[in-house]
Structure 1
Amino acid sequence: MDVLVTGGSGHLGQRLLAPLQGAGHSVRQMSRRGAGPGGVRADLATGQGLAAALAGAEVVVHAASDPRGDPWQVDVAGTRRLVQAVDRDRLRHLVYVSIVGVDRIPFSYYRAKFSAEQVLLASGLPVTLLRVTQFHDFVDTLLETARKGPVLPVPMGWRLQPVDVGEVAEHITGLVGAEPAGDVVEFGGPEELTAAEVARAWAAERASGAHVVATPVPGRMSTAVREGAALPSGGGRGRRTYAEHLRG
């Protein structure tokens, strides 16, 4: 099928190309720059180039997001623009990449992702809303940022289930050829870990000598993560553990 990947230059978007092509699909990767072979230029924040990018698409994997900028403009309003621009007569499946816990964790970016899910559910399009847990590489970045010299503070009691981005790409490839779920499905890593356990494993491999300090974090968001809101309640599971990721 003709597959368009939004967010094609992102971490997940780049990893989708090989498995989708390996499954026999024709793949175009949409981004604001549109660089590289198969690159298509379009901007969800303005709608510029969107109709041309979506022309002919039988499947859309909607992986574009803007967590560091304005997710209400890109993730929510941009998803509305996508819904309006898509060829409804040709589209067979739209897979939206969301995050486990967007409906339970009171965090502004998560609220935007949840709102984008509602836009798609109300659109009448054949959709699957795939909520995934945090990528291993993203966890690495958070820990590197959190480290303050020899001290690595992490939230006490936070429960995580990180997943390999390549396995998420493979799972999405399987969803592309399946019937739309019309609802939320989940995919997470193979094991539940506390933030402190993740940090100690990371420090042992990447920051020898760093001392992990589990610190109480107040607030509703922290309470939700401690109570398991970031953990998948069902769906598929990856195989690669965080420790295996750290070992390369």
Structure 2
Amino acid sequence: MARTLVTGGTGHLGRLVVPRLVEAVDEVRVVSRSPHASGDGIEYVVADWTTGEGLTEAVRGADVVVHLAGDQLHNEATAQALLRAVREAGHRPHLVNVSVVGAERVPVRTGFDRRVLGYMPSKYAAERVLEGSGLPWTNLRATQFHELVLIAARGLGKLPVVPAPTGWQAQPIAADEVAARLVELALGSPQGRVPDLAGPEVHTFRAMIRGYLDAVGSRRPTVPVRVPGGASRAYAAGANLAPDRAVGKQTWAEFLAAEAGPGRR
């Protein structure tokens, strides 16, 4: 079975991907910024994405690299660091990358757009780096995770009046469903860009916030707020959606019932 490396394996999505891989392959290695005790079929290695220290040894011998590492704005630099390490290690693993639906359709021209929605073009830039690497690759785009929308809703829900960006839409999907698909792709042959993975329903962001408030028993009102910029207009126009790929199973309401209902923190 393939020796598999997971970057970003200690993040939210990584913690769902790694256990599935442990059940399916002989060796699973996880890149982390800080030390973790190896065990339960997982080898943890420390590497620095900024300096590249430790990355070459991390990727050495891997047949498959599931690339989940990244942040709001530095996904391109992270992808470039990964490729440098792969070349220094001197082999050609299958790169399996996770990205976001509509990555190339959300323009970012202002500082405000970059701070709020810069993740989208950053992920698209990372896609281009990996696709142009000359290595075998597979790229999966997914819509917004339920869990990430919940984080935003919890933060906004603490305000006396809850702002909701005017017209913004989302098609949230369970992160575990994305994890399952990534593992399936990691176990297969390189496929290039595969069909997008999107949640079962499209909602306005305001409706999702209202659903969260209702789930936690909050009567705080929501108020529409106009967010300036081309990126905001793209979200309102549905650039981040894939209605023809609504293959996810868990709905936002089902997720809220499980994670934000009475008795939940």
TM-score, normalization: structure 1?
A: 0.90
In structure 2, C-alpha distance between the alignment counterparts of 1:17 and 1:127, rounded to whole Å: 19
Please identify, of 189-198 and 175-184, the stretch whose mean Cα deviation from structure 2 is larger. 175-184
Q: Per-residue displacement from partner, 1:139-187 (whole Å, max 9, x unpaired)? A: 0111122235332111121110011111111111111122222235421
User: 2:146 corresponds to which residue?
Assistant: 136
Describe the SS at the equivalent of 1:237: coil
User: 2:112 corresponds to which residue?
Assistant: none
Q: How far has the Cα of 1:233 moved from its partner?
A: 5.6
In structure 2, C-alpha distance between the alignment counterparts of 1:16 and 1:98, rounded to whole Å: 15
Q: Following superposition of structure 1 onto structure 2, how do residues 8-23 of structure 1 map, counting pairs within 5 Å?
A: 8-23=9-24
User: 2:77 corresponds to which residue?
Assistant: 77
Structure 1 residue aligned with 2:45, among 40, 46, 60? 40
**RMSD in angstroms over aligned alpha carbons?**
1.8
Q: How far has the Cα of 1:18 moved from its partner?
A: 1.6
User: 2:189 corresponds to which residue?
Assistant: 179
Describe the SS at the equivalent of 2:66: strand
In structure 2, C-alpha distance between the alignment counterparts of 1:241 and 1:66, rounded to whole Å: 26
Residue 156 and residue 25 in structure 1: after superposition, are their counterparts in 2 closer, same or farther (change >3 A)? farther
Does structure 1 residue 26 correspond to structure 2 residue 27? yes
In structure 1, C-alpha distance between the alignment counterparts of 2:179 and 2:208, rounded to whole Å: 23
Matched residue type, 1:60: V
Matched residue type, 2:192: G
User: 1:238 corresponds to which residue?
Assistant: 248
Q: Per-residue displacement from partner, 1:68-94 (whole Å, max 9, x unpaired)? A: xxx33xx22221121122256351x21
Matched residue type, 2:216: R
Q: Is the 8 A contact 1:143 1:152 kept in 2?
A: no
Matched residue type, 1:81: A
Does structure 1 residue 155 correspond to structure 2 residue 165? yes
Q: How far has the Cα of 1:234 moved from its partner?
A: 5.0
Residue 176 and residue 247 in structure 1: after superposition, are their counterparts in 2 closer, same or farther (change >3 A)? same
Matched residue type, 1:245: F
Q: How far has the Cα of 1:130 moved from its partner?
A: 1.3
In structure 1, C-alpha distance between the alignment counterparts of 2:105 and 2:30, rounded to whole Å: 31
In structure 2, C-alpha distance between the alignment counterparts of 1:193 and 1:227, rounded to whole Å: 12
User: 2:137 corresponds to which residue?
Assistant: 127
Runs of 4+ in 1 over 4 A off after TM superposition: 233-236
Q: Following superposition of structure 1 onto structure 2, how do residues 59-74 of structure 1 map, counting pairs within 5 Å?
A: 59-67=64-72, 71-72=73-74
Matched residue type, 1:41: V
Q: Which blocks of at least 5 consecutive residues in structure 1 are unaligned?
A: none
In structure 1, C-alpha distance between the alignment counterparts of 2:119 and 2:167, rounded to whole Å: 22
Residue 153 and residue 234 in structure 1: after superposition, are their counterparts in 2 closer, same or farther (change >3 A)? same
User: 1:201 corresponds to which residue?
Assistant: 211
User: 1:97 corresponds to which residue?
Assistant: 98
Describe the SS at the equivalent of 2:138: strand
In structure 2, C-alpha distance between the alignment counterparts of 1:235 and 1:58, rounded to whole Å: 30
Q: Following superposition of structure 1 onto structure 2, how do residues 210-229 of structure 1 map, counting pairs within 5 Å?
A: 210-229=220-239
Q: How far has the Cα of 1:199 moved from its partner?
A: 0.9
Q: Is the 8 A contact 1:44 1:79 kept in 2?
A: no
In structure 2, C-alpha distance between the alignment counterparts of 1:218 and 1:84, rounded to whole Å: 38
Q: Per-residue displacement from partner, 1:191-234 (whole Å, max 9, x unpaired)? A: 11111221111111125212122233332111101111110265
In structure 2, C-alpha distance between the alignment counterparts of 1:189 and 1:214, rounded to whole Å: 24
Describe the SS at the equivalent of 1:80: helix
In structure 1, C-alpha distance between the alignment counterparts of 2:60 and 2:236, rounded to whole Å: 44
Q: Per-residue displacement from partner, 1:36-93 (whole Å, max 9, x unpaired)? A: 32211112221010011001111101000122xxx33xx22221121122256351x2
